[in-house]
Amino acid sequence: MPPKNPRAKKTFGKKPFFRAGPGGQKPRDASRVGKPSSAPHTPERMLVANPDNDLIYGAHPVTEALKNPRRRPVNLWCTENAFLRLKEEAPDVSITPEIVHPRLLDHMLKSADAVHQGIILEAKPLHQPRLDEVPRDGLIVLLDQVTDPHNVGAIMRSCAAFNVSAVVVTARHSAEATGVFFKAASGAYEHVPYVTVTNLARAMDELIGYGFHLVGLDSEAEIDMAGVTKTRPLALVLGAEGKGLRQLTAKTCHEVARIDMPGVIKSLNVSIACAVSLYALTH
């Protein structure tokens, strides 16, 4: 029988003591191999876009952007399923997409509210016209400090549906052209010019000089929207929710009208009010 090692430690049925290896780490517990870690998963790489470019996500906004000949796509990331849908909707897309895992798209947008539907496009910003380049024989919409991108995006969508020539906003106190805005517009941004001016009152005076008839919307106005002048060129002026039209804005309008509502509530979300007003002005 070999002699006992006096330095050997007794385990008494417990797990043996492991001495740290050359790397200073204990061997992995075999019982933990293959089990998910409780720490959040970090994608193996990052998708990065130029902050000066437009980042558009969602099936319809991206498809409309890729169909727009004025758009200059830079990068297109999508899942396999999204790419198959895209080929059906836009078979002539020139840019080659990069097929990625959905979690990379999730991590890129960093927002739980961002429903990308498996596709993100990075593209150069669209060139937008000046106010003096807007057609002077149709219908345009002016926004007086409407800042919510969801509302402005929905307004753009209604404007595309009613063949509005342009949406006019101010450089300050307006919705920025972000992914949220593009998603809410659902492709309408590719079809309706988005004109930015420095001062809304001066822009309204300029439009009056071009022959536009300006109609403001106010829930407490005396006349109903159905009875206003509908002669083109025509401009519909909308104010922010809660505040409505500013005093100078309302004063500059030729007419200020309300939407006649027989119910208890006498006001609507600004994007809904825009759609109803456009219907009244075009029928």
Q: In what order do the strands lie in the sheet with 166-170?
A: 194-197, 166-170, 139-144, 234-239, 213-217, 255-258, 223-224
Same domain, 118 and 138: no
188-115-271 Cα angle (round to 5):
40
Structure tokens at 37: 């870690």
The residue from 97, 123, 149 where one domain ends is 123
Read off the pLDDT of each residue in 79-100 and give the average, rounded to a whole number.
90
Answer yes or no: is 89 within a domain.
yes
Task: Please write the tens of the pLDDT for every residue from 133-163.
Answer: 999 999 999 999 999 999 999 999 999 999 9
How many domains does the chain fold into? 2
Q: Under 8 Å CB-to-CB from 35, ≥6 apart: which residues?
A: none
| Domain shared by 263 and 203, yes or no | yes
Domain span at residue 176 reads: 131-282
Residues 213-256 have pLDDT tens digits of 999 999 889 999 989 999 999 999 999 988 899 999 999 999 99
CATH of the domain at 72: 3.30.1330
3-state secondary structure of 235: strand
- Digit-coded pLDDT (tens) for 165-202: 999 999 999 998 899 999 999 999 999 999 999 999 99
Q: Which tokens go with 258?
A: 């309300």
> Residue 256: CA atoms inside 13 Å, Cβ hemisphere, count?
17
In this predicted structure, what is the pLDDT of residue 31? 38
Residue 14: inside a domain: no
With contact defined as beta carbons under 8 Å apart, do 68 and 124 qualify?
A: no
Q: How many CB atoms lie within 10 A of CB 17?
A: 8
